[in-house]
């Protein structure tokens, strides 16, 4: 299940930017606790689709450095890369 925030139709980008600015405090309440950046939001049917679960995983400094390096080589941030790798691992295990 996902949490949807109403995302109205806008006549222009300026109107949308103004709405985002005026509602920034409310939007921050939704995104900050989940550590979701604006770039990671998925817009579908003009609703903001938020991830259902955020998982904190302790990593050693060495593993974090490796993760950052590999993620950067693929043009991703570490969180997106780890999520992608976890998804691929789960899919391969399920297929086996």
Q: Is the pLDDT of residue 76 over 50?
A: yes
54: its two tokens: 């955020």
CB 26 within 8 Å of CB 69? no
Per-residue confidence (pLDDT) for residue 42, from 0 to 100: 47
Higher confidence at residue 31 or residue 9?
9
Per-residue confidence (pLDDT) for residue 32, from 0 to 100: 64
Q: How far is the C-alpha of 78 from the C-alpha of 90, rounded, in Å?
A: 18
Q: What is the pLDDT of residues 10-36, one digit of tens each?
A: 898 888 888 888 888 777 776 665 555
User: Containing H/E element for 15?
Assistant: helix 13-22
Measured CA distances, 74 to 12, 23, 77, 81, 83 (Å):
34, 33, 9, 8, 13
Q: Where are the beta strands (DSSP E) in the chain?
A: 4-6, 42-44, 47-49
Q: Is the pLDDT of residue 80 over 60?
A: yes
Mean model confidence pLDDT for the chain = 77
């Amino acid at each position: 299940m996902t949490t949807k925030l109403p995302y109205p139709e806008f006549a222009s980008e300026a109107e949308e930017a103004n709405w985002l600015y005026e509602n920034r405090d409310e939007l921050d309440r939704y995104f900050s606790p989940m550590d979701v950046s604006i770039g990671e939001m998925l817009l579908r049917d003009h609703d903001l689709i938020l991830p259902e679960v955020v998982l904190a995983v302790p990593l050693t400094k060495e593993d974090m450095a490796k993760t950052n390096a590999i993620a950067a080589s693929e043009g991703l941030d570490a969180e997106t890369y780890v999520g992608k790798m976890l998804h691929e691992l789960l899919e391969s295990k399920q297929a086996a």
